[in-house]
Chains A and B, each alone.
Chain A
Amino acid sequence: MLTAMVIAILTAITAWWLLVQRLREKPWVNQGVVPTSQETLFSSAPKIALWLFLAVVSSLFGLFSSAYFMRLHDAHGELQSWVPLAEPSILWINTLVLVLASGAMQIARNRADHEDLGGVRVYFSVAGLLTVLFLAGQVFAWKLVTATGNYGPGNPAYSFFILLTAVHGLHLIGGMFVLVRTTARVWRGVDKLAVVTRSRIRLSVQLCTTYWHWLLLIWLGLFALLSST
């Protein structure tokens, strides 16, 4: 179902965009005409690529969630192997940390819009540290779950918990590469930066912010999914 919804939403967005692009144009009647402007969704290619990538990521997690539900459904047979997990309460703290990371990222983005690269430096670093804290918290949650319960790989609730949090964490780690690179660039010298570099930094900050917010949303969805069963 989730997958179907994700696909439906993506299809709707595509359809809407295609309408914007005037799929009704009759290209054979307007020879010789050169349009003065062409509509595009975003002003920059990296932003389009990021949203496309987020669509891929959403599709991935949507399908994982569908698999979760179907496996849960199929487990209600005679060979009951699904032992519900008692999710450790540290997950609530982790969630809060990730929300704060996302918030710091948003502030960094506002600072970048105001050409305040010093502020970007501070809040970007804070967001990075909070993300590392989140990841450490997730690993700690694995340890808690493994230690407290008598769970093994035979219990899909346990396997799914580790798998989903790990895949989500890997996506954050991927984002951390960009974050670290951008932060390093800002640290190297706030005042000496050329205009081109400044606009590139602003773009990186914008892209990172979008990515972090989206991964926060995905985590909230996963957390709800894991807690609900």
Chain B
Amino acid sequence: MAYVAIADRDVHLHDPQTFIEKYIWSQDHKVIAIQYGSVAIFVGLIALVLSLFMRLEIGFPDTFRFITPYSYYQFVTMHGMIMVIYLLTALFLGGFGNYLIPLMCGARDMVFPYMNMLSFWVYLVSVIVLLASFFVPGGPTGAGWTLYPPQTVLEGTPGADWGIVLMLASLAIFIVAFTMGGLNYVTTVLQARCRGMTMMRLPLSVWGIFVATILGLLAFPALLVAAIMMLLDRLLGTSFFMPALMSLGENSGHNGGSPILFQHLFWFFGHPEVYIVALPAFGIVSDLLSTHARKNIFGYRMMVWAIVAIGALSFVVWAHHMYVSGMNPYFGFFFATTTLIIAVPTAIKVYNWVLTLWRANIQINTPNLFAIGFIFTFVHGGLTGLFLGNVTVDLPLSDTYFVIGHFHMVMGVSPVMVLFGAIYHWFPKITGKMPNEVLGRIHFWMTFLGTYAIYLPMHYLGILGMPRRYYAYGHTDFIPGSAHAVNEAITIAAIVVATAQVIFLINVFYSLRKGKPAPQNPWNATTLEWQTPQTPPVHGNWGPKLPVVYRWAYDYSVPDEPKDFIPQNEPPKGHHSLAH
């Protein structure tokens, strides 16, 4: 039995003694998860501040002298790239993936702890390289997060000297880090599950993280290929992407390169990236809803199949980001069709979340509020995706604020709602302290209503035809004065939402110091991470005996049972525990 050999081996893979081994060069998945999470949240806060700068400029043009057209584009670019890659990907997979996979699978650690540690430190290097671009001559790149050539490497684009080089280098380093972590996550799920934990007994959080990691392993190479080739175009004068053109009155020296090729490579990574962020969110939110609604998840098998189907389909929809790139119209037809097909498994998931809540014993607490809030924001963002997925509707809406509203709802706000829900949910296990409920609820309502106040009006602005990526709009006929008023209101809402995040940070630090000590299983949850002998779990997770799993992860409110939940490792009546 292979799984026993790995999950239950007594060989001490690593036995930390000193402070440095325990908390800095740590090979413990829980410490690495916290390291990943802290760095990701730190850069995320930087990206949040950058977005506020952008909003200040759009809401109140010509008011803030430090925001120039040059720096505005740098803020746009860094905000997008940091949020998508260095915050969301790193926090979901590096943070929650690291924390939850071994605990939920009933393992003592990741299969390759040393490589896991390296993964974090290489990630940290990528973050440092990225942030270093703020301090080099010319500053960070301002090419937009999609980094489209040829403008990305041409003089005149902000950061065309050093910024773009550091950005591409940082992405390449990040991909190395992700690959090391990703190999670990997948192998651990496949190989290190405890006795009785079949794949179909895994909590959906693990399924989401597992499939998302596979997507990442296959999709990130596309970004690596694009980054390497663009780096060569920039540094050695090759012409992979750079066409022959005159720049600032001079021949750039490039010849015949294909900018469209870059777009294909970028979106072949970029679209699966959406699901690399979304699938862990889907999985985690399923567990939050089921636990806090005291009801088994509706259609568990369908949920698993939908995750797998969405993962597979996400590789054949990438060109719906390129309808206006001048590609063959038949391609547009193909990609619109696949895009609409992917709505089917996604809709199954949404129905199942709603049906899980149907007539459930819904607990109103912070994690559940965020989980239910996610259903709203995700349905909203998903439905506007149907507009943009159709070629004819997309053409007039392309590059307008409608697109900004759509993708922020679907892959900005929605995953972040889940992240907050997940942080409040697992905070007691991770820290041993209960988070403050009142501050949590204030945080939720300000964030939920605030983000609607930001992004709902953007759809209207987009339908008016207001283009995105503009530093200043000036006075044009098609943008009425009311649009400027809306922009001011959006900016104020953005400031309110940013303030709410300060409340969140206060809650985290306050609860860490003064929070009530957390019991072992405060939410009465069934999954294995709540059944550890210590809270927070110590090194090795399970003490001398590994858990044995007897049932699936969703035995809530089982009829004729005294408790409204049965942990996965609880043997059936009349059976002795097989734990050894």
Contacts and interface: CB of A to CB of B under 8 A. Distances in A.
Contacts, number: 172
Given A37-B1, A40-B190, A79-B243, A52 B199 contact: no
Interface in A1-50: 3, 7, 10-11, 14, 18, 21-28, 31-38, 40-45, 48-49
Interface in B276-321: 296, 300-301, 304-305, 308, 312, 315
Interface residues of B, number: 69
B578 interface: yes
A96 interface: no
A41 B190 contact: yes
Given A34-B195, A35-B198, A81 B315 contact: no
Given A48-B190, A79-B244, A81-B255, A31 B225 contact: no
Chain B CB within 10 A, most for which of A31, A37, A55, A79: A31
Interface in B230-259: 232, 236-240, 243-244, 253-258
Contacts of B264: 66, 70
A67 B555 contact: no
B283 to A, nearest CB: 15
Interface in B551-579: 551-552, 554-555, 571-572, 575, 578
A11 B191 contact: no
Interface stretch (B140-148, B214-222, B482-490, B492-500): B214-222
A55 B192 CA distance: 21
Interface core residue of B187, B192, B214, B575 (most chain A CB under 10 Å): B187
A17 to B, nearest CB: 9
Contacts of A28: 296, 300, 552, 554
Given A45-B192, A82-B256, A154-B253, A27 B179 contact: no
Contact of B225 (A26, A34, A64, A75): A64
A77 interface: yes
B239 A31 contact: no
Nearest to A21: B199
Nearest to A11: B312
A23 B222 CA distance: 30
B255 A79 contact: yes
A53 B115 CA distance: 13
B427 interface: no
B119 to A, nearest CB: 13
A32 B255 contact: no
Given A18-B308, A45-B111, A71 B261 contact: yes
Contact of A45 (B6, B258, B308, B549): B6
A74 B260 contact: yes
B433 interface: no
A178 B183 CA distance: 17
B214 A154 contact: no
Nearest to B568: A31
A180 interface: no
B224 A60 contact: yes
A135 B237 CA distance: 25
Interface in B172-186: 179, 182-184, 186
B229 A163 contact: yes
A55 B254 contact: no
A59 interface: yes
A52 B183 contact: yes
B301 A23 contact: yes
B239 A52 contact: no
A228 interface: no
B171 interface: no
Interface of A: 3, 7, 10-11, 14, 18, 21-28, 31-38, 40-45, 48-49, 52-53, 55-56, 59-60, 63-64, 66-67, 70-71, 74-75, 77, 79-82, 153-154, 156, 159, 163, 167
Given A33-B550, A48-B191, A52-B182, 19 more contacts: A18-B199, A22-B199, A23-B308, A26-B200, A27-B200, A34-B196, A38-B193, A38-B198, A45-B111, A45-B192, A49-B111, A53-B179, A60-B225, A70-B260, A70-B261, A74-B261, A75-B256, A77-B256, A163-B232
